[in-house]
Structure 1
Amino acid sequence: MTGPGSHAALDVACPDVYFTAGYGRAAAETDSGNWQTIHEADRLMLPHVLRPVGDTDADATSPYGYSGLHVDAACTPADLARFWSRAVAHWRESAVVALFLRFSPLDAASVEAVRGLGTVALTRRADTVTVDVSQGPDQVWDGMQGRSRTAIRKARSKGLTSTVRPVEQEDLLPGAPFRRLYESTMARLGSQLWYLFPDRYYRQLAAGLDKALCIAEVRDPDASVVAAALVLRHRDRAHYHLAGSDPLAARDGANNLLVWSILEWATQQGCRLVHLGGGVRAEDGLFQFKRSFGGARTPFWTGAAVIAPERYRELVAARAKQLGRSTEDLASSGYFPAYRAGVT
């Protein structure tokens, strides 16, 4: 087992972009934490961000996105049990109290393997959407719902055009079209503050992913960017990451054209899958929008494990007192770790 350190060489074998050091270190910037990965070569991988809890403790969480614990198909239950035991020993030495995992919807076998451990509480969250683009753009187009194709045609009739290209440094600066559109969209939707990423996140993301980080843009007839999204590429997969749009342009089909441009680009890049993610809530409008592109439902699971039970109970009790709630109420709230409940 290898613990914290530099794993650039391992990134090539990572099952997805969310397991790479470049992505993990960027995600750590949003939590004021430190990225680590515990792994046994490319057979077992568990990237996580260590976040301070008070002056002496810490907890661990998957980097924002989808990684969790990857278990290679050749690993036996005994292999996984040994790995987990050694990981828990490492965390206890590091004063880690609790662990929260966000599993990849594209790695269902790993979820089932972890279920066999019996020590991680698994929860199925809202589904995400994955589009198979391996058969080319014509099949993707034919597989979309009619309303999505109609919106794309409308966008083109309004003179909107789209491109996908590698990110340049200027694309991620404060006030750049992507940043402006994304941040205004989050504000309009009333999203949590943690969806507004700091400048250092974007700098680290660009430095860490390099050519694997792309940007999709839709422009109006005056060449102004009216919709944009970041796209993460890793091997035969592409991920729709962060996106925003002008609401007037959205009514003219700009968002549909944006996603279609990513799907079409992905086929040209030799990708097999495009993961569009899910909605804010199960079956909401955003989820239905993504489903209109003909993708399959892919279940999203999270996992929770208490590493230091006694210390966990102490922290929950202290947080409950601070919030004026009972310990039992906070512990049963469904928020994990419960001692972070109410923290924005």
Structure 2
Amino acid sequence: MPRDVLTAELPDADCPDTYFTAGYGRASAIARGGDWHCLGWQDEILLPYVVNAVRDGMYDAASPYGYSGIHVAASRGADDLARFWQQVKEHWRDLGIVAMFFRFSPFDRESLHGVASLDDIALTRRGDTVAVKVDDGPDAVWNNLRSSCRRQIGKARRAGLTAQVRRALPADVEPGAPFRTLYEQTMKRVGSADGYLFADDYYLTLVNGLGEGLVIVEVKADDGRVVAASLVFAHRDRVHYHLAGSDGVSSAVGCNNLLLWTILSWAADSGRRWVHFGGGLRPDDSLFRFKETFGGCRKQFWTGAAVLDPAAYERLVHEHAAATGKTAAQLMESGYFPAYRFGKGLV
């Protein structure tokens, strides 16, 4: 495997999922203040990542926020992956990358099994996510909804709420646009971390980078006001629920149920196979249980951690421990990776 195969940027249409595309990766890098890259072996092994500076020529990296990790085609075996990973580590060490945090796709268990054979990536199972299979058509999807969910959708319709799906445009993500306003109000209302509030450049990069792959879903009251909205990724046979918000009042009449049902029915009508709603803020919390009412199944979400420069990693952990009044052992046992970023927000 020659070294130059490590540079890889496939056309977005050839990527296995949205989270591997340059269009999404560059937006994710803007959100995290880093630089997006993708390493790969042709189109058969792909590893997208965002690099962030730590200090003094030291860096760390993470999968673009969401679900990618490493994709390994079925035609590639454990030996191919091991050779690829060895070259990646050498390349990253040359660049001063100390540690890498992976977020693996819940839809790609075979790649995860391959990564499990690499003894220097520690895997951790996180909370499950919810995915709904929609390729049997909207009627089958409707029948699989829980009765409580169908009642809420009916309540929304009786209240005069309607919903539509269309390609997202730059005007949809401008400051003050209905989606932006609803999303930001919702994040503040539920007390989300500042990292879930995105700058204008993030949204514009999504719109320009994903094109037809970025969809907006809006629920409107009978007076034309948008009372709930969501940005959705559509890529090949898969749809991902990305960001959403509502006015906090219309929720009582089922606007969020109508929003998610509209995503499901649109995906079924447009020939998709899966709609991925993601998980909750914590395992099996109220948000997760709400998503479960739309039927579907649980998908396991795994992360991975790799320390590429143990000496530098240990030094950074001890420095952060001294700065925060904790011990290095407390940081290492926190479950946060890299441990020296504990308390600093999203990676």
Q: What's the TM-score bracket when you normalise by the shorter of the two chains? A: over 0.9
The residue that corresponds to 1:35 in the other structure is 36
The residue that corresponds to 2:283 in the other structure is 282
Matched, 1:79 2:90: no
The residue that corresponds to 1:113 in the other structure is 114
Helix, strand or coil: the match of 1:129?
strand
1:8 is displaced (CA, Å) by 4.8
Whole-angstrom CA distance in 1 between matches of 2:289 and 2:200: 31
Matched, 1:155 2:156: yes
Matched, 1:183 2:184: yes
1:3 is displaced (CA, Å) by 3.9
Whole-angstrom CA distance in 2 between matches of 1:290 and 1:45: 30
Whole-angstrom CA distance in 2 between matches of 1:2 and 1:222: 56
Helix, strand or coil: the match of 2:249?
helix
Alignment of 1:211-222 (within 5 A): 211-222=212-223
Is residue 212–residue 234 contact of structure 1 (8 Å, CA) maintained in 2? yes
Is residue 3–residue 36 contact of structure 1 (8 Å, CA) maintained in 2? no
Is residue 171–residue 177 contact of structure 2 (8 Å, CA) maintained in 1? yes
Alignment of 1:111-260 (within 5 A): 111-260=112-261
Helix, strand or coil: the match of 2:319?
helix
Whole-angstrom CA distance in 1 between matches of 2:125 and 2:28: 23
Moved more, 244-253 or 324-333: 324-333
- Structure 1: runs of 5 or more not aligned: none
Whole-angstrom CA distance in 1 between matches of 2:224 and 2:174: 19
CA deviations over 1:40-61 (Å, ceiling 9, x no partner): 1111110000001013111010
Q: AA paired with 2:253?
A: D
Whole-angstrom CA distance in 2 between matches of 1:2 and 1:204: 27
Q: AA paired with 1:318?
A: E
Helix, strand or coil: the match of 1:319?
helix
Whole-angstrom CA distance in 1 between matches of 2:281 and 2:338: 20
Whole-angstrom CA distance in 2 between matches of 1:189 and 1:295: 26
The residue that corresponds to 1:24 in the other structure is 25
Is residue 227–residue 258 contact of structure 1 (8 Å, CA) maintained in 2? yes
Helix, strand or coil: the match of 2:148?
helix
Whole-angstrom CA distance in 2 between matches of 1:179 and 1:335: 30
Whole-angstrom CA distance in 2 between matches of 1:246 and 1:55: 45
Whole-angstrom CA distance in 2 between matches of 1:166 and 1:125: 32
Large movers: runs of 4+ above 3 Å:
1-5
Whole-angstrom CA distance in 1 between matches of 2:293 and 2:276: 14
CA deviations over 1:51-94 (Å, ceiling 9, x no partner): 01013111010001110111111211100100000000010011
Whole-angstrom CA distance in 2 between matches of 1:34 and 1:22: 13
Q: AA paired with 1:304?
A: A
Is residue 127–residue 300 contact of structure 2 (8 Å, CA) maintained in 1? yes
Whole-angstrom CA distance in 2 between matches of 1:2 and 1:277: 33
- Structure 2: runs of 5 or more not aligned: none
Is residue 182–residue 243 contact of structure 1 (8 Å, CA) maintained in 2? yes
Is residue 105–residue 301 contact of structure 2 (8 Å, CA) maintained in 1? yes
Is residue 214–residue 231 contact of structure 2 (8 Å, CA) maintained in 1? yes
CA-based RMSD of the aligned residues comes to 1.0
Q: AA paired with 1:320?
A: A
Matched, 1:51 2:57: no
Whole-angstrom CA distance in 1 between matches of 2:282 and 2:70: 24
Helix, strand or coil: the match of 1:313?
helix
CA deviations over 1:272-317 (Å, ceiling 9, x no partner): 0000101001111110111100010000000000011010001011
Whole-angstrom CA distance in 1 between matches of 2:247 and 2:332: 41
Is residue 24–residue 63 contact of structure 1 (8 Å, CA) maintained in 2? yes
Whole-angstrom CA distance in 2 between matches of 1:231 and 1:158: 25
The residue that corresponds to 2:69 in the other structure is 68
Q: AA paired with 1:281?
A: R
Whole-angstrom CA distance in 1 between matches of 2:326 and 2:157: 55
The residue that corresponds to 1:266 in the other structure is 267
Q: AA paired with 1:234?
A: H
1:4 is displaced (CA, Å) by 4.8
Whole-angstrom CA distance in 2 between matches of 1:84 and 1:248: 50
Is residue 104–residue 302 contact of structure 2 (8 Å, CA) maintained in 1? yes
Helix, strand or coil: the match of 1:247?
coil
Helix, strand or coil: the match of 1:105?
coil
Moved more, 321-330 or 43-52: 321-330
Is residue 231–residue 241 contact of structure 2 (8 Å, CA) maintained in 1? yes
The residue that corresponds to 1:2 in the other structure is 5
TM-score, normalisation: structure 2? 0.97
Is residue 10–residue 43 contact of structure 2 (8 Å, CA) maintained in 1? no
Is residue 182–residue 244 contact of structure 1 (8 Å, CA) maintained in 2? yes
Is residue 125–residue 303 contact of structure 2 (8 Å, CA) maintained in 1? yes
Whole-angstrom CA distance in 2 between matches of 1:303 and 1:73: 21
